[in-house]
Structure 1
Amino acid sequence: MKAYPQEDKDGIDELLKLYNNLRNGHGSFIEEEAFEKIIDYYDEKEEISKALEAAETALEYFPYSSLLLIKKADLLLATRKYHQALETLEKAELFDAKDINLFILKTDVYLALDRQEEAVELLQTAIQNFEGEEKIELLFELADVYDDYEEFDKVFDCLNVILEEEPTNEEALYKICFWTDFTGRNEESIRLHLKIIDEHPFNELAWFNLAAAYQGLKLYEKAIDAYQYAIAIDEKFDYAYRNVGDAYIRIRKYKEAIEALEKVLELSKPEEVIYEAIGHCYDRMHNYAQARFHYRKASHLNAEDSKLYYKIACTYFNEGQWASAAKQLEAALKIHRNQHEYNLLMGECLLQMEETREAVQFLSTAVRVRPRNISGWEALIRCLYLAEYYPEARQQTLSALKHTGGKPVFFYYLSAVLFALNKPKEALLFLEKGLTASPKGVKKLVQLNPAMLQKAQVVDMIARYKRNR
């Protein structure tokens, strides 16, 4: 609620006294401007019925005042009396058709009555009759109408027109960046912003928008150049550093990405997503200790993000620290117990730690959650095979073939299991199926059990297929 300075309060108290006397039939004349102040006073105090009453009283004395009629219409709109508001605005238009508030309120009434086409038509006509700031204001209004009714390309068009009229309009520059990305109209955005930059070369928002449009087209080198211009103009432009960091990641320039993202941390409050991105860069550079450090920083900001514990676990796994990886996976699984990747990696860790029974449980969960995922089945069957649970391995391999539409890798795995179960004829049959479907897949058989290459029948069959190819 607005607080009035003492002199204003004294003034409004005096006006309210005059107004109340007038309503009680023994007051003197009040000027139109004084009525406006009384209406505004009640409106700001959110006493809408009193404000409306004051507007009605004022119009008894000034029936041809478009300004008072517009104020009354605004109050009627606030109380959802849309048809009365529209009638009042049409009356106001007879006395002054050039007041921009008339068109803005009329638009609001049409939208409240779900008469979108009339709202659009009204604004389009009004835009032709106004210039400068008022025209810009109506274009923003039209953009909002299109946004409400999900005509998103037309929102972009409105913003484009605003920037043609006023190339450095900050609100339009901020908004068009979002709508370019949303509508995918990157080429048009590039043309528009190159034109703006030609006239206003030191406008950092135009350079930023140009860069974002290049980034939308995956032209990362061009995007980086444009972001660098934006940063050169405004060295505290944190969003430019953020986006240039992302662009460097896309082209695998992780060192440069880290530098840009660290600048973001200097300029703005710490964010989980920035620490995670820096962690990702170190991860890709195989600097697992630094990757962990930044993933942990991210997890301190959001302890409920299970993905961060999983990423820390991956760094330990890559270093062969199975127990440390498993500890992080326990934290991730407490938050999301049935996440496929978490169960799969936990199974792999436990397998490396020779805790086979527990490994089977986690890998079984992984395949139950994502039955069409090949890697889950591969890990489960490999685990069962290495633990010499051959009957179970056979059963799971048949399930894997069923769920994955007969992927050739499982013919090879079934062949290995059948050899282990001392069923060489069946084993050779499935080896032949594997070689027919995918000769290169034989390496999966060798990885599972290199001793397979000591079996003469296996070597002969592989050699025969190599010759035929």
Structure 2
Amino acid sequence: MEFSHDDNYSLPLTKFESMLKTNNVLFFDSEEFENIIHHYLNQGKMTLAKKAIKLGLQQHPTSVNLRLFKVEIYVFEDKLVEADTLLSELYTIDPSNEEIYIQKANILSKKDEHQQAINVLKQALELTDDVIDLYSLIGMEHLFLDQYEEAKSFFMKCMEEDDADYSALYNIMYCFDYLEQNDQAIAYLNTFLDNNPYSEVAWHQLGIQYTTQKKNKKALAAFDFAIISDDTFVGAYLEKGKVLEKLKRYEDAIESYTHTLKLEDPTSFALLRIGYCYEKLERDDLAVHYYFKTVHEDPLLDKGWIAITKFYNKKNNFQKALYYINKAINIDSENVKYWKLYSQINVRLSLFEEAERGFKKTLELGNYELNTWITRGDLLIKLGEPQAAIFNFEQAAEFHPENAEIEYRLAGLYFSLNEIDKGTFHLKNGLNFNEDYTFIIDELFPEVISKAQVKSLLKTKL
């Protein structure tokens, strides 16, 4: 039983907390203690829950339910041996108490013994008529075992018992998605909606399934039905907006996104999408206005800063683009996307040293894409740092072996330093991997292409 400020059940809670402050020992019946403990557990107030359990057991030492709360605390604190020992004692006292089986299954699950947990939960099913929670727990254990078909069947049992159990419905959809059973998911939802035509969650999920199939008009209809069922359903308006964007109905998408701003506090996602739509409509002033509102709402959202930077980049206003990507980097200096954009903009501004620094940072953050290695290496060549370029390309070759673009660059670098053997080795590699990239030597190392050894190798191979 959950306490609220408006009902009589808040009285025992107030009395209990007053007792803790005054150290006066007051009497509570066992059910009142159970309600108090349940309240504190739901609130995440473990210290108070433990105090209530201790005092409860002092007044009601034989209460199985209060001792089960103690088991729950043990499990939460990973004291599984103590929990198991106490459960064994309780089983001898009350072997038909389904909560004992649930806690036993919880312990087994914590030990990654999920099949044993399922077996115990199925035993509990035979002891109670209140089966929904047990079906859900069994479904979750099957998910832990990656048994999605079995999990799905138990979540469906939950829905058969209570068609408003939307957590079960979401889990069913998760299973369908994982199994890539899109058509089956749509069939299930349509059958469900035949009996529950005003289920906004089911309509919403149906719309998502149609979106996956790229059936945008059907998806749009489903989201409209979700909104008819609940005109405050923010998720339906957002999904509807995304579909309208795909249909290039940008004005309608803006209307749908804007509606969410009236229903709850503005979300950075909605503001960003409105900005995108205005940009598509070539209403640049409104587009950039909403991009700025996005980063004001959520300064950590990289998509907002990237949208602003790319907006000015497209307008060839590289100084402004650089200004805003620098602001983004000051907020989050570990964001790879920011550093890539930073580097690209500096290249456009011919600030090659800054661009190289940006690509180096990108690599340090774990972005090992071939283009990053090559662009950085080419910048080092341009900056007259051949040894650093060689080191860069040799590292690149570890991540991208047998790559002709890397080998030709290494060949050109070594030949330019008159390290003929190494140059020959890499040029032969490049020719073996792909002869079509020999133009790299000519473009990046024009002084090398005239060397006798290079001419000879190219002539022999080509």
Q: TM-score range by the shorter chain?
A: 0.5 to 0.7
Say whether the 8 Å CA contact 2:102–2:124 is kept in structure 1. no
Q: CA RMSD in A?
A: 5.0
**Which of 85, 94, 119 in structure 2 is aligned with 1:89?**
94
Which residue of 2 is the match for residue 227 of structure 1?
223
Matches of 1:87 and 1:391 in 2, distance apart? 77
- Of stretches 45-54 and 367-376 in structure 1, the one that deviates more from structure 2 is 45-54
Unaligned runs of 5+ residues in structure 1 are 14-34, 57-68, 94-101, 131-136, 456-463
Return the letter of the residue paired with 2:123. L
Q: In the alignment, is residue 267 of structure 1 matched against residue 278 of structure 2?
A: no
Q: In the alignment, is residue 240 of structure 1 matched against residue 236 of structure 2?
A: yes
Shift of 1:239: 1.1
Change (3 A) 1:263 1:448: farther
CA-to-aligned-CA distance 1:25-72 (integer Å, 9 cap, x gap):
xxxxxxxxxx9x93333444555466557667xxxxxxxxxxxx9xx3
Q: In the alignment, is residue 147 of structure 1 matched against residue 148 of structure 2?
A: no
Which residue of 2 is the match for residue 357 of structure 1?
353
Shift of 1:227: 1.8
Which residue of 2 is the match for residue 373 of structure 1?
369
CA-to-aligned-CA distance 1:258-289 (integer Å, 9 cap, x gap):
44333322322212233334445556677665
Shift of 1:299: 1.8
Shift of 1:300: 1.6
Matches of 2:196 and 2:206 in 1, distance apart? 13
Which residue of 1 is the match for residue 123 of structure 2?
122
Q: In the alignment, is residue 332 of structure 1 matched against residue 328 of structure 2?
A: yes
Change (3 A) 1:225 1:126: farther
Matches of 1:220 and 1:431 in 2, distance apart? 52
Shift of 1:74: 1.2
Matches of 1:410 and 1:287 in 2, distance apart? 43
Q: In the alignment, is residue 253 of structure 1 matched against residue 248 of structure 2?
A: yes
Say whether the 8 Å CA contact 1:40–1:51 is kept in structure 2. no
Which residue of 2 is the match for residue 322 of structure 1?
318
CA-to-aligned-CA distance 1:330-383 (integer Å, 9 cap, x gap):
223334445444333323323333333333333343345557422223433444
Return the letter of the residue paired with 2:105. L
Matches of 1:4 and 1:340 in 2, distance apart? 51
Q: In the alignment, is residue 110 of structure 1 matched against residue 104 of structure 2?
A: yes
Say whether the 8 Å CA contact 1:347–1:358 is kept in structure 2. yes
Unaligned runs of 5+ residues in structure 2 are 16-26, 38-51, 72-85, 109-115, 451-458
Shift of 1:437: 5.7
Say whether the 8 Å CA contact 1:140–1:158 is kept in structure 2. no
Which residue of 2 is the match for residue 200 of structure 1?
196
Which residue of 1 is the match for residue 454 of structure 2?
none
Matches of 2:194 and 2:357 in 1, distance apart? 64
Say whether the 8 Å CA contact 2:125–2:134 is kept in structure 1. no
Matches of 1:292 and 1:238 in 2, distance apart? 24
Shift of 1:193: 1.5
Which residue of 2 is the match for residue 156 of structure 1?
152
Kindly name which structure, 1 or 2, has the bigger radius of gyration based on alpha carbons: 1
CA-to-aligned-CA distance 1:228-268 (integer Å, 9 cap, x gap):
2222333332111222334455x473725444333322322
Q: SS at 1:235's partner residue?
A: coil
Change (3 A) 1:245 1:444: farther
Change (3 A) 1:214 1:351: closer
- Of stretches 414-423 and 316-325 in structure 1, the one that deviates more from structure 2 is 414-423
Shift of 1:160: 1.1
Change (3 A) 1:281 1:383: farther
Return the letter of the residue paired with 1:121. K
Say whether the 8 Å CA contact 1:86–1:109 is kept in structure 2. no
Matches of 1:367 and 1:402 in 2, distance apart? 13
Q: In the alignment, is residue 75 of structure 1 matched against residue 66 of structure 2?
A: yes
Change (3 A) 1:404 1:292: farther
Matches of 2:106 and 2:395 in 1, distance apart? 58
After TM superposition, the structure 1 = structure 2 runs for residues 296-315 of structure 1, keeping only pairs within 5 Å, are 296-306=292-302, 308-315=304-311
Shift of 1:138: 0.9
Q: What count of residue pairs does the alignment treat as equivalent? A: 400
Change (3 A) 1:368 1:3: closer
Return the letter of the residue paired with 2:64. A
Matches of 2:6 and 2:334 in 1, distance apart? 60
- Of stretches 385-394 and 137-146 in structure 1, the one that deviates more from structure 2 is 385-394
TM-score (norm 2): 0.66
CA-to-aligned-CA distance 1:90-113 (integer Å, 9 cap, x gap):
3xx5xxxxxxxx43x243343355
Say whether the 8 Å CA contact 1:230–1:240 is kept in structure 2. yes
Change (3 A) 1:427 1:314: farther
- Of stretches 213-222 and 351-360 in structure 1, the one that deviates more from structure 2 is 213-222
- Of stretches 295-304 and 160-169 in structure 1, the one that deviates more from structure 2 is 160-169
